[in-house]
Amino acid sequence: MGLLHLRSHAMLLLVVPVCLFSFSLPYVVAQSDTKTSARALDALLQDYAYRAFVRPRTRTGIVYNGYVPSNLTGMKIAAMRLRSGSLRKRGVKIYKEFGIPIGVTESPYVERLVLVYQNLGNWSKTYYPLPGYTYLSPVLGLLAYDASNLTATNLPELEIRASGDPLSITFQDMMSAPAGSVAECVWFDLHGLTNFSNATSGNTCTTTEQGHFSIVVESVAASLSPSPRREKKKSNSKVWIIVVPVFVGLALLVLWLHKHKHKKKMEQMQKAAADVGEA
Ligand SMILES: *[C@@H]1O[C@H](CO)[C@@H](O)[C@H](O)[C@H]1NC(C)=O
Ligand SMILES: *[C@@H]1O[C@H](CO)[C@@H](O)[C@H](O)[C@H]1NC(C)=O
Ligand SMILES: *[C@@H]1O[C@H](CO)[C@@H](O)[C@H](O)[C@H]1NC(C)=O
Ligand SMILES: *[C@@H]1O[C@H](CO)[C@@H](O)[C@H](O)[C@H]1NC(C)=O
Ligand SMILES: *[C@@H]1O[C@H](CO)[C@@H](O)[C@H](O)[C@H]1NC(C)=O
């Protein structure tokens, strides 16, 4: 009996902190990992998008649809090779959901470049988690690379900038915003920065730079509490530093109370036994 009690107390003491750690650890790790894993994905998709070009003669201004590896089924990619001068002087009227106006330049300058298109489909949330928001459309990416070597991997992105009108992204594969909520554009730049702006006509976003884009609404639960936005990521991991010791403390208190109660009960039983003996 006593041994059994002791065992359950020990279990309690073990289980509570272990549970807390198993919840908090993956969370903290996932938060710091997402930026690097999204960049690793960009590199992988650059490689796979370039494989879509039919060698040895790749035409310019043509959309080449690519294939993703089977572990990323659900994503779509494409690549388009362009002369730098043509991009600047003519733009690209329609490239999937993107409209590229006249006046887009890259730096550093290259003679020809490749615009890699990404549609992350059902993987959007995995690579671009956005606490407090719900995605209404998949995350779409547009990234520019040097086209001088079409078998190159791990290429650094070029910077592209719209000097006149901005680029537009017209989302087609989109859920309608719940009544009363406002659809917002979200832009993830390549350095991990997130920026929100208003959508025009409900499904169009604009940008002057490359990156990843989507349309979101604030989640209902999040709009009841203060907006999480950017600061939340850091403070969340700090919260655990406070929460874990508090719970461990509580577990110890519960253990102590149980022991105390048990001791009292034993004393009462001994006393009762003594009373019976006297009688
Ligand atoms: C998916 O598979 C490719 C090709 O086998 C591999 O290079 C890549 O690391 C894998 N990516 C993920 C996220 O599992
Ligand atoms: C996305 O859908 C594909 C099937 O279309 C599935 O194999 C894959 O696991 C899904 N990805 C996620 C993150 O759910
Ligand atoms: C192109 O890149 C590949 C892979 O990095 C490399 O093996 C090849 O030598 C490069 N070709 C040229 C012409 O630089
Ligand atoms: C979005 O539009 C609302 C009203 O239409 C305005 O108050 C808000 O400042 C705009 N937000 C941004 C980021 O432009
Ligand atoms: C973020 O978006 C706002 C409104 O669209 C814009 O004024 C601001 O310059 C953007 N910030 C960055 C870092 O691009």
- Whether the per-residue pLDDT at 3 is higher than 70: the answer is no
pLDDT averaged over every residue in the chain: 82
Nearest Cα to 157, choosing from 89, 104, 106, 105? 106
Q: CATH second-level architecture of 37-225?
A: Sandwich (2.60)
pLDDT in tens, 93-102: 999 999 999 9
In angstroms, what is the span from residue 150 Cα to ligand 3's centroid? 8
Q: What angle do CA 245, 246, 252 make, to 5 degrees?
A: 90
Neighbours of 242 (CB within 10 A): 9
Q: How confident is the model at residue 264 (pLDDT cuts 50, 70, 90)?
A: confident
pLDDT in tens, 8-58: 555 545 444 444 444 444 444 444 577 789 999 999 999 999 999 977 788
Q: How confident is the model at residue 115 (pLDDT cuts 50, 70, 90)?
A: very high
In angstroms, what is the span from residue 71 Cα to ligand 1's centroid? 6
CA of 36: how far to CAs of 39, 127, 157, 191, in Å? 5, 9, 15, 10
Atom number, ligand 3, closest to the C-alpha of residue 154: 5
**Site to substitute for ligand 5 among 190, 195, 200, most atoms within 8 A of C-beta:** 195
Atom number, ligand 2, closest to the C-alpha of residue 125: 13
126 lines ligand 2 (CB under 6 A): yes
Concatenated DSSP letters for 136-168? SS--EEEEEEE-S-TT--SPPPPEEEESSSPEE
Q: In terms of pLDDT, which residue wins out, 115 or 35?
A: 115
CB 17 within 8 A of CB 248: yes
Residues paired with 65 in a beta bridge: 78
Fill in the amino acid letter for 43: A
The pTM (predicted TM-score) of the whole model is 0.73
In angstroms, what is the span from residue 42 Cα to ligand 2's centroid? 18
pLDDT in tens, 149-186: 999 999 999 999 999 999 999 999 899 888 889 999 99
Atom number, ligand 3, closest to the C-alpha of residue 153: 5
pLDDT at 222: 47
Name which of 64-73, 117-126, 172-181 the model is least confident about.
172-181
Q: Is 120 exposed, middle or buried (0-12, 13-18, 19+ CB in 10 A)?
A: buried
pLDDT at 232: 42
Fill in the amino acid letter for 133: Y
The torsion angles phi and psi of 197, rounded to 5 degrees, stand at -150, 170
The domain locations on the chain are 37-225
% of the chain beyond a pLDDT of 90: 60
User: Which distant-in-sequence residues (6+ apart) come within 8 Å of 219 by Cβ?
Assistant: 132, 133, 134
pLDDT at 58: 84
* Tokens linked to 193: 């920065």
% of the chain beyond a pLDDT of 70: 71
pLDDT at 248: 63
Residue with tokens 């936005």: 229
Rounded to whole angstroms, how far apart are CA atoms 228 and 230?
A: 6
- Cis-peptide, bond into residue 108, ω within 30° of zero: yes
Task: Give nearest CA residue, ligand 5 atom 12.
Answer: 195
Nearest Cα to 79, choosing from 101, 48, 112, 105? 48
In angstroms, what is the span from residue 70 Cα to ligand 2's centroid? 10
In angstroms, what is the span from residue 25 Cα to ligand 5's centroid? 33
pLDDT at 18: 47
Rounded mean pLDDT, 108-125: 97
Name which of 20-24, 75-79, 264-268 the model is least confident about.
20-24
